[in-house]
């Protein structure tokens, strides 16, 4: 097929418009660069396209999930675990789930907005316990950028002074809801730390955006733009500079390289026409999400880079990690038949339980934090997950309706989100036999949890069961056995995949340097989760945003100095 080349040579071509790409587009256009942003998905605007306040009965499907909206018809993310025509494979014995968004703003349209800074220990874990690797940067290197992200986007939370949970520049947090107060009391009795949660939702006017009005539906996309999405907060100001060229439905195939060994643009498929096309640029920034960035690099083969671009170390695709995860839910009799009360709040938890223990007394390294869910949100299709699970629940007619009213809001759930250590058996590579509908070779995933993760998840299960017991409740499911992996979620299932183009000082063991600049190609940068050296017991996106802003500032300064 003939390739269509755009006549302009842009200062920067960015691939992907989610957290990492949206921030780079914002920062670089503000710094004066002319940017082409390639996005594989369609246009989307949370303010116009969100489904805020829609009732289940507004749709014949009652809001139930579809293949491209696995989290429900009203969810803000187009994409999912499987995308028609875009397969991925797993090696025998490996289980890995890969969530991919295909829309402007990527996964930031429906993410949980839990916005945590990595702490000082998280950048230097090897120095503390000898496992994995240290980052080439410290918390102090990233702190100014976390501060800038807080100021630009807005986040609520509370100043606590905890050692590895750095405070930010916070809006006031919402008060805990009834079920959160009960959970908090029980958890504190068991010695856990409980603080207000930290979510990128504004609770007072911020940079022209209205504060949250507590509809509790953040995953649908916020029509008042009160929570963070790249589409609502980063892309529009970038467009206002007049320097952003947004190219949607553009599936990047590879980064192209000139005779000088530098990146000179990106080739892509125009999904609307099926034709090959090309954007020329002086600098390329990859932010297509961690694994897709590894895929792009591995597929960018040339005579200069026969093993893929920026892959002289052979580590592209390696050191892939995901957050460990396991859940427990239960029924709390004292939360039955609650009098009507105000449970309005944000679309996420109002309390946060950070890691609270000393690993020297445990049989696993690293930690996890706890996310709490429950309460009386708007009922959706199939809500309450089976009334028959409640004592004497079920039946039909008036008594069934009555049971729903009595039991509604009387369940609670806890999810652990913990740190995995990178290992040699967890990585992605190009599958030699499979291509997607565009003819682009796809990824094959290899995955292995070790005892470090299994023992951590066992501890999660025991802790959550103890909290539910302390609340006087009954757990819905038996304790998973060792053979069941203690209920550990599949690799990728927590959707915090990181690594694949990790940063480091040594070009022999890492892909990018401390500025997320490829060791092998000085005008190639990566601003998604792939440069992460390790996970933390924190969700990653606030760090992706801070690093993207930091890298963009580095690019701007290098351009000014004429070095790029
Ligand atoms: C349900 C859910 C809840 C989450 N909750 C949290 C949370 O509470 N806190 C937290 O920190 N993180 C959370 N996450 C994770 C968070 O969404 C990601 O860490 C973050 O979005 C990653 O940003 P990114 O820019 O790397 O990727 P994305 O946001 O996924 O953006 C990547 C973009 O690149 C595009 N793209 C991909 N391939 C190509 C290609 N070949 N060519 C062109 N474009 C391409 C995609 O279409 C997409 O728009 C959650 C994720 C999900 C799904
Ligand atoms: S809870 Fe607040 S931030 Fe979330 S969608 Fe509703 S108004 Fe927007």
Q: Does residue 2 have a pLDDT over 60?
A: no
Q: Does residue 6 have a pLDDT over 90?
A: no
Give the pLDDT score at 431.
98
Cα–ligand 2 centroid distance for 110 (angstroms): 11
Cα–ligand 1 centroid distance for 19 (angstroms): 6
Whether the CB of 203 sits within 6 Å of ligand 2: no
pLDDT > 70 in the chain, percent: 99
Q: Does residue 386 have a pLDDT over 80?
A: no
Give the pLDDT score at 340.
83
Q: Please check whether residue 15 is in contact with residue 38, taking contact to mean a CB–CB distance below 8 angstroms.
A: yes
Which residue do the tokens 């992996």 mark?
485
Give the pLDDT score at 1.
43
Whether the CB of 75 sits within 6 Å of ligand 1: no
pLDDT > 90 in the chain, percent: 88
- What average pLDDT does range 352-362 have in this prediction? 97
| Ligand 1 atom with least separation from CA of 538 | 11
pLDDT in tens, 261-271: 999 999 999 99
Alpha helices (runs of H) in 393-520, residue ranges in sequence order: 397-407, 451-470
pLDDT in tens, 51-68: 999 998 999 888 888 888
pLDDT in tens, 197-256: 999 999 999 999 999 999 999 999 999 999 999 999 999 999 999 999 999 999 999 999
Listed range (136-140, 167-171, 391-395, 551-555) with the worst mean pLDDT: 391-395
Work out the pLDDT band at 81, boundaries 50, 70, 90: very high
Listed range (140-144, 383-387, 401-405, 464-468) with the worst mean pLDDT: 383-387
Whether the CB of 461 sits within 6 Å of ligand 1: no
Residue nearest to atom 8 of ligand 2 (CA): 222
Mean model confidence pLDDT for the chain: 95
Ligand 2 pocket mutation, candidates 47, 347, 350, criterion most atoms within 8 A of CB: 347
Whether the CB of 212 sits within 6 Å of ligand 2: yes
Q: Does residue 382 have a pLDDT over 80?
A: no
The Cα–Cα gap between 287 and 519 comes to 17
- CA end-to-end span of the chain: 33
Q: What is the pTM of this model?
A: 0.97
Whether the CB of 214 sits within 6 Å of ligand 2: yes
Q: Does residue 31 have a pLDDT over 60?
A: yes
The Cα–Cα gap between 196 and 218 comes to 18
Listed range (55-69, 179-193, 301-315, 514-528) with the worst mean pLDDT: 55-69
Whether the CB of 271 sits within 6 Å of ligand 1: no
Using CA of residue 175, residue 179, residue 180, residue 186, what is the dihedral sign?
positive
pLDDT in tens, 120-176: 999 999 999 999 999 999 999 999 999 999 999 999 999 999 999 999 999 999 999
Cα–ligand 2 centroid distance for 226 (angstroms): 6
Cα–ligand 2 centroid distance for 201 (angstroms): 7
| Ligand 1 atom with least separation from CA of 108 | 21
Work out the pLDDT band at 401, boundaries 50, 70, 90: confident
Q: Does residue 3 have a pLDDT over 70?
A: no
Angle formed by the axes of helices 178-189 and 451-470, nearest 10°: 110
């Amino acid at each position: 097929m003939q390739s269509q080349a755009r006549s302009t040579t842009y200062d920067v071509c960015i691939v992907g418009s989610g957290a990492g790409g949206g921030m780079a587009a914002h920062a670089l256009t503000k710094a004066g660069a002319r940017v082409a942003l390639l996005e594989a998905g369609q246009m989307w605007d949370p303010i116009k396209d969100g489904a805020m306040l829609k009732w289940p009965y507004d749709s014949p499907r009652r809001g139930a999930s579809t293949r491209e909206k696995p989290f429900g018809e009203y969810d803000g993310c187009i994409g999912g675990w499987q995308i028609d025509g875009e397969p991925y494979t797993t090696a025998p014995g490996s289980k890995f789930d890969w969530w991919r968004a295909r829309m402007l703003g990527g996964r930031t349209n429906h993410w949980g907005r839990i916005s945590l800074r990595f702490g000082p220990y998280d950048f230097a874990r090897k120095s503390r316990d000898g496992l994995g690797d240290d980052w080439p940067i410290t918390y102090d290197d990233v702190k100014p950028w976390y501060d800038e992200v807080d100021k630009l986007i807005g986040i609520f939370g509370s100043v606590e002074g905890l050692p590895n949970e750095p405070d930010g520049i916070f809006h006031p947090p919402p008060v805990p809801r009834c079920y959160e107060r009960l959970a908090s009391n029980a958890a504190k009795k068991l010695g856990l730390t409980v603080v207000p949660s930290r979510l990128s939702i504004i609770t007072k006017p911020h940079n022209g955006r209205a504060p949250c009005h507590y509809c509790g539906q953040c995953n649908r996309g916020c029509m008042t733009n009160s929570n963070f999405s790249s589409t609502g907060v980063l892309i529009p100001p970038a467009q206002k500079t007049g320097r952003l060229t947004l190219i949607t439905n553009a599936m990047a195939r590879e980064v192209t390289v000139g005779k000088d060994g530098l990146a000179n643009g990106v080739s892509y498929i125009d999904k609307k026409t099926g034709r090959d096309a090309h954007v020329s640029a002086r600098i390329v920034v990859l932010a297509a999400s961690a694994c897709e960035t590894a895929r792009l690099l591995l597929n960018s083969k040339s005579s200069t880079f026969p093993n893929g671009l920026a892959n002289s170390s052979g580590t592209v695709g390696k050191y892939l990690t995901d957050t460990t995860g396991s859940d427990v839910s239960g029924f709390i009799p004292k939360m039955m038949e609650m009098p009507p009360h105000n449970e309005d709040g944000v679309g996420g938890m109002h309390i946060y339980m950070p890691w609270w223990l000393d690993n020297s007394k445990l049989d696993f390294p690293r930690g996890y934090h706890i996310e709490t869910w429950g309460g009386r949100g708007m009922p959706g299709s199939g809500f309450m997950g089976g009334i028959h699970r409640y004592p004497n629940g079920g039946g039909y007619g008036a008594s069934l309706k009555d049971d729903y009213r009595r039991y509604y809001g009387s369940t609670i759930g806890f999810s652990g989100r913990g740190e995995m250590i990178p290992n040699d058996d967890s990585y992605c590579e190009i599958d030699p036999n499979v291509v997607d509908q565009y003819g682009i070779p796809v990824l094959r995933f290899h995955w292995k949890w070790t005892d470090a993760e299994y023992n951590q998840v066992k501890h999660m299960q025991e802790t959550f069961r103890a909290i539910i017991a302390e609340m006087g409740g009954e757990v819905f499911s038996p304790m998973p056995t060792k053979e069941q992996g203690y209920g550990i979620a599949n690799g990728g299932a927590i959707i915090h995949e990181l690594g694949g183009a990790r940063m480091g000082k040594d070009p022999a063991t890492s892909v990018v340097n401390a500025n997320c600049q490829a060791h092998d190609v000085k005008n190639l940068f990566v601003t998604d989760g792939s440069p992460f050296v390790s996970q933390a017991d924190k969700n990653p996106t606030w760090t992706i945003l801070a690093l993207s802003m930091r890298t963009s500032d580095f690019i701007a300064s290098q351009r000014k100095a004429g070095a790029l």
